[in-house]
Chains A and B, each alone.
Chain A
Amino acid sequence: MYGNAYIDPNDKAAMMLAGEDPQKLAEFEARIARGEKIEPKDWMPKEYRKQLIRMIEQHGHSEIIGALPEGTWITRAPGFKRKLALMAKVQDEVGHAQLLYSAAETLGKSREAMINDLITGKSKYSNVFNYPAYTWADACIIAWLIDAGAIINQVANAKGSYGPYCRALDRICTEESFHLKYGHDNVVTLATGTPKQRELVQAALTRWWPPIMHFFGPSDKISNHTEILMKWKVKMATNDDMRQQFLNMYVPKIWDLGLTLPDPNLKKNEEGKWEYTEPDWEEFKRVINGGGPCNAERLAVRRNAEERGRWVREALNTADSKYMVPLA
């Protein structure tokens, strides 16, 4: 699941192209304009490499951290069908992290370095995973709506310019379609089930709506910086466009189930655009910077997992092994 890297709005566009060879830059941009993909050993602007590493790495972190909120319910999923499916879904998130880290590695950052940046808090991941999954229904809402948001993001990014990232996303999107169906099936089952189940799913939806509205990030400031990233096909759609697409696809489906969304201003206007109460972006920033209900836990759990596995990894390391950047 879950792309949508957080791009620091303070990066200055003017700095981006400093020192780049104009002829190589022109060839690079022409290649992208022709719709060709960039491959790992191609010449690329430093800023392109930096932004892609940051974006793919954050996406990878979001997968491995994203395995935790749903993993909260892995030992408690009700019945064989749900138990097996949730195991397979959380497993897929781990698999996606593997694919994404591998893609980022082709740009020259090792997996060790990425994990180190994750567990020290230096590198971000999708903010939604800093919220807890209180009940089984929370895990179902995540599986449906967070994965739905992720698909919108990932389908857009799969048309980007960097070959290894696109290939990883193609594989990921195929698996996400299972997640989305699984999540929808779960939410429908709860919403059309017993009164206790309806109550569970409504409460979960109400809890998750603010983080879902945060999911695509604040409106982009259309700076030269974002323009260049869009020209390079690093950023494929604006945050607002993706949020509109999400609302358009899923709000009617939520309403179909007779569920209520906690935003009295949410409606589609005459021009076909969704209006909503502006999400609390201060809260978003506070959580991204470590102040959310689960930030500390998520990182502590990852550190614990890395530490418990260390002896296993160290034992099998052989003296003659040598790292080489993966090819593709």
Chain B
Amino acid sequence: MNTEAIKELLYKMADDLLIIGHRNSEWTGLGPILEEDISFSSMAQDKIGQAQALYVLLHDLGEQEPDTVAFTRNANQFHNAQLVELPNGEYDFSLMRHFLYDHADQLRFEALANSTYEPLAKVARKVKGELKYHVFHANTWVTKLGLANQESHDKMQHALNHAWNYALGLFEPSANEAALIDESIFIGENTLQEQWLQNITPVLLKAGLTIPNPSTWNPIVGGRIGIHTAHLEPLVEEMSEVFRYDPTAEW
């Protein structure tokens, strides 16, 4: 097994999950209606729980404790795609990001359920139900708001346009891509992106939303190698403020 390649895969997945879970948790108590507040918070918890499970796998491969990894690194040591670090904006953007990200996440874990790296396959099988709910939630919201009225349609379309190139950045290929595919650890980012497009296209169509013209596609990459927007550093500092207050302490 190519441990370096596995670690790289685990890091980017875990960091994506932690950061999007963190962002989505910012809505807790401030959501558009009580019932949705609760649902969105549950999914944020799921994401952070999934991140933790992956940091545990990294720890098993010799990396530091999950808390240390998550709460003491600097922004440029994170491997998440830039999509997940963007500020929440309004609910349109948060929902659209959730939709674009969760479809990719579901497919990624679905593929990994058959990974030859059994510890990850096990995690992937365990989170299947959570992801099914996340995608059901995302599809329902995006479809309903896409079709509801002109204002909501325009907002969702605008959010899609804004998020699109960042979302393509989720599939930033890595140097270890070939090794992961050869050893049947993972299907690779290209295949994942194809599947993702296949899954989201009919939903967006049903929602009356238009995927930006392929001639304008320009994946925003760099997140996987530690290049981030200006939004990540304050996020990481905020997230680890208490943890770093007394690094010797157990919290």
Contact = CB atoms under 8 A, between A and B. Distances in A.
B98 to A, nearest CB: 13
A189 interface: yes
Contacts of B155: 311
Given A73-B242, A79-B243, A315 B91 contact: no
B63 interface: no
Nearest to A93: B29
Given A87-B25, A196-B245, A316-B144, A308 B66 contact: no
A75 B151 contact: no
A80 B29 contact: no
Interface string A300-328: 01001100111111111000000000000
Nearest to B150: A315
- Chain B contact patch, size range: 35 or more
Contact of A196 (B29, B52, B240, B246): B246
Contacts of A163: none
Interface string B220-251: 00000000000000000011111101101111
Interface in A185-216: 189, 193-194, 196-197
A301 to B, nearest CB: 7
A98 B49 CA distance: 25
A80 B34 contact: no
Interface string A88-122: 10110111011001000000000000000000000
A97 B34 contact: yes
A67 to B, nearest CB: 4
Contacts of B214: none
A291 interface: no
Interface in A47-83: 64, 67-68, 71, 73-80, 82-83
A84 B51 CA distance: 11
Contact of A94 (B34, B70, B240, B242): B34
B242 A308 contact: no
Contact of A315 (B48, B151, B240): B151
Interface of A: 64, 67-68, 71, 73-80, 82-84, 87-88, 90-91, 93-95, 97-98, 101, 136, 189, 193-194, 196-197, 301, 304-305, 308-316
24 contacts: A71-B28, A74-B26, A75-B25, A79-B243, A79-B251, A80-B67, A80-B70, A91-B45, A93-B29, A94-B28, A94-B41, A97-B34, A98-B34, A189-B250, A194-B246, A196-B246, A197-B249, A309-B31, A309-B32, A309-B91, A310-B32, A315-B148, A315-B149, A316-B152
Given A87-B28, A194-B249, 12 more contacts: A76-B239, A84-B49, A87-B25, A90-B29, A94-B37, A101-B34, A189-B250, A189-B251, A193-B251, A311-B151, A311-B155, A314-B149
